[in-house]
């Protein structure tokens, strides 16, 4: 069962006190975890719209971390290839994948 909100705040959808309507609303959600800015533990019920800024900050942090991990992996692969003397990697040519007769037919259309 969803708990009631504290009295005094107005719901932007219902234009009524949140304590009267939020426990019935599908946007009234329970959030558990850590605040991405303060590392403080969170275990609260609140409106999903009110949680959005916090969740967007968390998403941005996760994206930055993933980007850094990918860049680190890329740099390690470059280093390994350079150690082996493979500075470039050539992919297969189109005619090696598709027979030349098909390539000529496609290019003439």
- pLDDT-derived band of residue 100, with 50, 70 and 90 as boundaries? confident
* CA-only gyration radius of the chain, Å: 27
User: In this model, does residue 109 exceed pLDDT 70?
Assistant: no
| pLDDT score at 87 | 53
Q: Which two tokens stand for residue 61?
A: 């942090």
Three-state DSSP class for residue 69: helix
CB neighbourhood size of 9 (10 A) = 13
User: In this model, does residue 95 exceed pLDDT 60?
Assistant: no
Measured between alpha carbons, how far is residue 20 from residues 8, 48, 105 in Å? 10, 17, 70
Tell me how many degrees the CA angle 82-84-87 measures, rounded to the nearest 5. 40
Q: For 34-92, what is each residue's pLDDT tens digit?
A: 998 898 999 999 999 999 999 999 999 999 999 999 999 999 998 888 887 755 556 66
């Amino acid at each position: 069962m969803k708990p009631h909100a504290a009295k005094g705040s107005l719901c932007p959808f219902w234009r009524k006190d949140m304590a009267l309507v939020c426990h019935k609303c599908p946007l009234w959600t329970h959030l558990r975890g850590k605040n991405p800015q303060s590392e403080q533990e969170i275990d609260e019920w609140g409106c999903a719209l009110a949680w959005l800024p916090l969740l967007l900050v968390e998403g941005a942090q996760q994206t930055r971390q993933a980007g850094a991990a990918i860049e680190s992996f890329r740099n390690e692969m470059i280093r390994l290839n350079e150690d082996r003397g493979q500075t470039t990697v050539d992919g297969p040519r189109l005619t090696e994948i598709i027979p030349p007769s098909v390539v000529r037919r496609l290019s003439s259309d």
